[in-house]
Amino acid sequence: MSDLLRHPLWEADSLGSPLPDNDFGVSVSLPLWKHVVGYEEGDPDIVSKFRSGYPRFCCPPAIGALFVQAEKEIGQDGERAIVFPRLVHAQRCLEFIARDGFSGRAAEWRDQKLGVALFPAEAYVKARKFWRFCGEVVSTRQAAHVLGQTTSSTSAQAGAAASAAIRQRLADLAGQQPEDVFLFPSGMAANYAVHRMLTTLRPGCRTVQLDFPYVDVLKLQQTFGSGAHFLPLIEESEYEQLRILLAGESLAGLFCEAPSNPLLRCVDLPRLLAIRAETQPDVPIIVDDTISTVVHADACRVADVVTSSLTKSFSGAGDVLAGSVILNRASPHHAAFSAFLKAHADHELWFEDAVALEQNSRDFVQRAEAMSRNALALAEYLAQHPKVERVWHAKQQGGPGYEFVRREGAGYGCLFSFVLKDAANTSARFYDALRVCKGPSLGTDFTLVCPYTLLAHYEELDWAESCGVPRHLIRVSAGLEDIADLITRFDEALNA
């Protein structure tokens, strides 16, 4: 961590390096604006430099090698393989590709009882969409272990103890019980489990996504179940649309983020509760608190279910993928939701990941508070800078919704976004000159910056802009650097 605080990977020759630069880094260095564009367009000169990538999007070497090994050992001619933690995950993948007419087979593999989905090569792109949207992924540590590439002394018993400690830590912070905390191999796997739960318990009902969310959270709802209504809440009139929708259609759940990624807004939660009470009191509310974290926000003041990506601020180190679901014991749905997840969550953290995550999260509270302070100070500095057009930060954009769940005296999380003046002509120069790590993900101990809209919505930039998300938006996840040093780095880049 300290090396990336003082010596970030920001120059062109760091392209493709993991962030952090080890076998388990979940981000990847994209130091120049043209690298981001080249990655999105599949430029082989860019992609060939990758030694890692965010695991749901880009298979790290050990995971790719695991897929190849499965193909060699149990595949037939022309078959490709994707390896999952359990057989049921592979079966769900096959159900997904069957929608497009592809057939395949699922097999249990190796002593670890991994699930392997085997299918024709032409189904691979579709199958990888399941891996991405649903997040039921094998981790890098697990892949390396299965391939015999590691000699870790960590035991399964240590992993179980670590998972129990993580559940207790999250329960204490959330004011819930450890048995209400469920752990998953990624934040998206947590979201997928909740979506499966809602659409199973409320068959045929659609979900509603409120406000502009992280890209795959919306795509998950649109792709699975009965589909989704999307209300970006750009116009005041959309709250009336929500009222009409709730009054006229049985819904599986209402999803929102507190605050949202990347615009740091928050649904007017008191108003949402009032609308629900008047129209469809039994529809569950699901809040994702990844950006604020449980340190700063008590989402259970509103939510029946709280989801979070533990990959981000909870871990901080950027070297382990995980997610959580926390059930609100005060919810009228608690008994049904708890029973479903205990029967169907079908996940546990790989034991080496659990140990790493437990160790990483021991100073979670102090880190979350420090990163929140740095984010606010840097955002306020940029908001006054003559070369900055606009800044989005939850203190300004969160509104009454965020304040409703913000804990007394707490902050707003590590994230903010901004756009430069004359952004089409100035953004690339600024980004290239910025002396911080640059790549996907957030919540790392080191500052991490990316041109978010290009990375998340490259094929739908006009649509993103229609939802209020500028194509040249730059997203900043503030780390633990000295704030004066951090401001100096941004100022130098602005004047480059």
Rounded mean pLDDT for each run of 10 residues along the chain, 496 residues in total: 85 95 94 96 93 82 94 95 97 97 96 95 96 94 92 88 98 98 97 97 98 94 96 95 97 98 97 98 98 98 98 97 98 98 90 97 98 98 98 98 98 98 98 97 97 95 95 98 98 96
> Residue 426 and residue 418: Cα distance in Å, rounded?
13
Amino acid 57: pLDDT: 83
The amino acid sitting at 307 is T
C-alpha distances out from residue 432 to 55, 299, 442, Å? 25, 37, 19
Asked whether 218 and 228 are in contact (CB, 8 A), the reply is yes
DSSP assignment string, 428-494: HHHHHH--SEESS----SS-EEE-HHHHHHGGGHHHHHHTT--TT-EEEE--SS-HHHHHHHHHHHH
> Residue 449 and residue 65: Cα distance in Å, rounded?
29
Token pair in block for residue 47? 């992609």
Amino acid 345: pLDDT: 74
Q: Over the range 465-475, which residues count as b (16 or more CB within 10 Å of their CB) and which as e? A: eeeebbbbbbb
Token pair in block for residue 277? 């009470």
Amino acid 346: pLDDT: 82
Count of C-beta atoms within a 10 Å radius of residue 37: 17
Count of C-beta atoms within a 10 Å radius of residue 24: 22
34 by Cβ neighbours in 10 Å (0-12 / 13-18 / 19+) ranks as middle
Amino acid 87: pLDDT: 97
Phi, psi dihedrals of residue 304, rounded to the nearest 5°: -80, -30
Amino acid 1: pLDDT: 45
Question: What end-to-end distance do the CA atoms of the chain give, in Å?
Answer: 27
3-state secondary structure of 222: helix
